[in-house]
Amino acid sequence: MKDIRQIQSDFPILSRSIHGHPLVYLDNGATSQKPQQVIDTITSFLQTSNANVHRGIYTLSEEATEMYEGVREKVAQFIHARSSKEILFTRNATESLNLVALSWARQNLKKGDEIITTVMEHHSNIVPWQILAKERGIILRFVPVITEAGILDIDACTQLLNSRTKLVCVGHMSNLLGTVNPVKVLAVKAHEVGAKIAVDGCQAVPHMPVDVQDLQADFYVFSSHKMLGPTGVGVLWAREEILETTEPVMGGGDMIKTVSKTEATWNEIPWKFEAGTPNVSGVIGLGAAIDYLTHVGMTHIWDHEHEIAQYVLPKLLDIDGVHVFGIQEAHADRGAIFSFWVDGMHPHDIASIFDEEGIAIRAGHMCAQPLLTAYKKSSAARASFYLYNSIADADAFLAAIKKAKSIFS
């Protein structure tokens, strides 16, 4: 097992200094840094095996195809999909959710049907449904958040579910609160009324072991760049039987079997949903990221972040004038994401002072405006930790809050 120093030494960017301070990167909720192993794998592919995929015959294309499709297998194993046929590569998780909206939902939902999402969602799990709802006369309902507790109001969700509900959308872990939602409970409830469930796993897959079959999900999406892989690659997992009966929405190369002047027949799943040349080097980079995460161990990563949360939360709450959104104590249903506000200070000023100390945190609406509105706030500051963040990083973070406070006192 790698210790924290070994892990940190795998990430070249962490040896950078910012404004004369060693970089402390705490914006992992937005994107993660990349280990040398991922960088090397992409470079090596481009240097030695680059070719288009699924074009066959010559050696390079065979190699590129084998590597690209090999990652599909890796992804399937990583999230415990039944088969790699259920793994679709997209540009990012946002595109994955939009693809569900534009294909399955558009083909199966009609006027008067209902979609349930939650107030806790990232905008990408709200806006695609709003667009579809407006276009098709579908009713969009929201599961409220119990703000003091930082959790979804599951009883309210039960009340919202009915025979017209066709889809329930929920984030596995909140990007603002760090709350791990009871996806399996919601999946069972959704299935009881004949609805499907779409899960945004962007903040979960990088940080904890995920088993899409155990969760009883129907759709599950996540992004490569938040889990040590490159940007430009997203994943959509969907049950094979759903993909088989859904029509593709993008036409072009690779997604067809035959084309005449008047019509075309589709390729098998998953390729019928992957029109055009995919992000081959990006997908191969994602494969290296999964290898890295698997080598460290997802349970180990989750435990490490839990330790960070146990260390940070009480100290953070102890600072006068500091308030933390959501769950106030470290436990199994909370990740190492800390969104907070400080009396008398705007989040942007907090982030600026942190930047002067070499610490990268997020400030703003966090792409979760309905959730902030529920807390009667327009913006927040957020520190989100990952496997390469140490207790020393946590100490630097806590010291910077105290410094910010002293500047504004």
Residue showing tokens 């040590």:
228
Taking CB under 8 A as the rule, which mask of x and - marks residues 344-373 in contact with another protein?
-xxxxx--xx--x------xxx--------
Q: How far apart are CA 302 and CA 216, in angstroms?
A: 21
- Shortest CB 408 distance to another protein, Å: 6
Considering the complex, state which of residue 331 and residue 348 has its C-beta at the smaller distance from another protein. 348
Tokens of 329: 């104590």
Considering the complex, state which of residue 333 and residue 349 has its C-beta at the smaller distance from another protein. 349
For residues 210 and 181, is the Cβ–Cβ distance under 8 A?
no
Considering the complex, state which of residue 155 and residue 343 has its C-beta at the smaller distance from another protein. 343
Considering the complex, state which of residue 280 and residue 353 has its C-beta at the smaller distance from another protein. 353
Residues with active-site annotation: 367
How many residues lie near another protein (CB under 8 A)? 16
Tokens of 10: 């795998």
Three-state DSSP at 164 gives: coil
- Shortest CB 403 distance to another protein, Å: 8
Half-sphere exposure of 111 (CA within 13 A, CB side): 2
Q: How far apart are CA 131 and CA 300, in angstroms?
A: 40
Considering the complex, state which of residue 239 and residue 377 has its C-beta at the smaller distance from another protein. 377
Stated length of the chain: 409
- Shortest CB 352 distance to another protein, Å: 5
Residue 402 touches another protein, criterion: CB under 8 A: no
Q: Looking at 107, 294, 299, 378, which residue binds another protein (CB under 8 A)?
A: 378
CA 9 to centroid of chain Cα atoms? 25
Three-state DSSP at 76 gives: helix
Considering the complex, state which of residue 307 and residue 356 has its C-beta at the smaller distance from another protein. 356
Q: Provide the pairing of β-strand 359-360 with 24-25.
A: parallel
User: Phi then psi for 21, rounded to 5 degrees?
Assistant: -115, 150
- Shortest CB 228 distance to another protein, Å: 26
For residues 60 and 208, is the Cβ–Cβ distance under 8 A?
no
Residue 379 touches another protein, criterion: CB under 8 A: yes
Name residues contacting another protein, limited to 259-288 (CB under 8 A): none
Residue 189 touches another protein, criterion: CB under 8 A: no
Q: Provide the pairing of β-strand 256-259 with 264-266.
A: antiparallel
- Shortest CB 244 distance to another protein, Å: 43
Three-state DSSP at 127 gives: helix
- Shortest CB 379 distance to another protein, Å: 6
If we measure between CA atoms, which residue out of 184, 183, 227 comes closest to residue 205?
227
Measured from the Cβ of residue 48, the count of other Cβ atoms closer than 10 Å reads 9
Residues at the site binding another protein, with contacts judged by CB under 8 A: 345-349, 352-353, 356, 363-365, 378-379, 403, 407-408
